Structure 1
Amino acid sequence: MEPRITLALLSFAFLVLGGLQFFWLNKQYQNMDTDNETQHKLARKSVNRIKIGIASIGFGTLFAAMAILL
């Protein structure tokens, strides 16, 4: 397989993964109870989801740039 196609597919996969992290986070906040302990646990999970989402989108953008420049 040509490297450009491989990089484009990797880019698409990472961008979708990053987008799904934020979609999941939004869904969790919409279904959140008002319980204080639940909010604290969700906030802790949210930080990890945001980090994973940003990293995935960053890798997707990097692979897309590499596919374009290759």
Structure 2
Amino acid sequence: MTPHPPAAPVVDDAPALHLPALRVECPACGAQPNVLCTSHSGTRQRRHDVHRARTTAHAQAQQ
């Protein structure tokens, strides 16, 4: 997988930081566990949600 440029610093009040799916790596953008997803270009953090693929990966990891 191609590395993405670093995103903006994590902001502690980002609502997505409390989502259970953050515990797994995101297959869509490559964000590591406990790191916010980024936009498709990798330049902005998704502060309010995560990619659907990450939610699916988290659900599969729970099984």
Judge same fold: TM > 0.5, yes or no: no
* TM-score, normalised via structure 1 length: 0.28
Relative contact order higher in (CA < 8 Å, ≥ 6 apart): 1
Greater Rg, structure 1 or structure 2?
A: 1
